[in-house]
Amino acid sequence: MRRNVPLSLTQLGTAAALLGALLLVPVPALAQDDVTLTMARERFKEGVSYFDKKDFAKARVAFLQAYALKKHPAVLLNLAQSELRSGHEADAAKHFAQYLREHKDATEGERQGADTGLTAAKALVAEVALDVDGSGAEIYVDGDLEGQAPLPGSVYLTPGPHELQARKDGKTVSSTVNATAGQSTSLRLSLSKTAKPAAAPTEAQPPEGGSEPIIEEPSTPRQGFFPWLTHTPAAMVGVGLTGAGLIGGGAFVFSFKSSYKAADSVASQGRRQR
């Protein structure tokens, strides 16, 4: 069951106002890299606008497109916040954890917002610490490529049954996990064995037949501000982009799994209208 997450939109509203002011700054002609950066900023601007309107599904698509063009930590943090509020809790947990893992220079406020968001997301999904004995093996979750072993972090799953699979050199091993919200599980996939290993509970998970752990609902997650907006005003010159999908030529070839097909659909629709 989806839970409502309290909101605070002050910082994103400030970012939107600042971006509007920057659009008025005259700038010189842009190189190709600057055009790509401008496209990313346009997508981020749309994401801020949708988030302020509480249209979190569209905000998620816009931030996802911006991150495909510019892998900036502020975009990743806002993407995770939108995912948390649009019913994509497993993706939100993955991206909050990625933000905390990769961006050690984040401010205290940004880390607090990511920590709070991760706690909220993890209360709604299962966390699986996956161990695969074949380095470089491809990891699949319900048939979708998650990455290569060793994965940089845990796998997050919505409640219910899921199949986790490892493939390498023609060998395949898989296991089914019955995910429960709020629980942590460890799983080993051994390509050197033919038997399917079963998921083993960690110390944080109660024994079979026991009660589920109680996870206190966190306070309101804080949105990450977007200081990147002020660093390169030249990239804000208009290039005739309107709507959420006017970037052509495969700009949205995402590395994310298939749950993000909504973003591809927006891009495809924009190309048909050009």
- Binned at pLDDT 50, 70 and 90, residue 218 comes out as very low
**Alpha-carbon gap, residue 41 to 24, rounded angstroms:** 14
Are the C-beta atoms of residues 218 and 93 closer than 8 Å to each other? no
Question: How far is it, in rounded angstroms, from Cα 28 to Cα 14?
Answer: 26
**What is d(CA 92, CA 102) in angstroms, rounded to the nearest whole number?**
15
Q: Give the global pTM.
A: 0.63
For 126-201, CATH number? 2.60.40.1120
pLDDT digits (tens, 9 = 90+) for 97-155: 999 999 999 999 999 999 999 999 999 999 999 999 989 999 999 999 999 999 999 99
**Where along the chain do its domains lie?**
10-123+221-273, 126-201
* Banded model confidence at residue 194, pLDDT cuts 50, 70, 90: low
Amino acid type, 32: Q
User: What pLDDT digit, counting tens, does each position of 19-39 carry?
Assistant: 433 333 444 445 668 899 999
What is the arrangement of strands in the sheet containing 160-168, beginning at the earlier edge strand? 144-148, 138-141, 160-168, 171-179
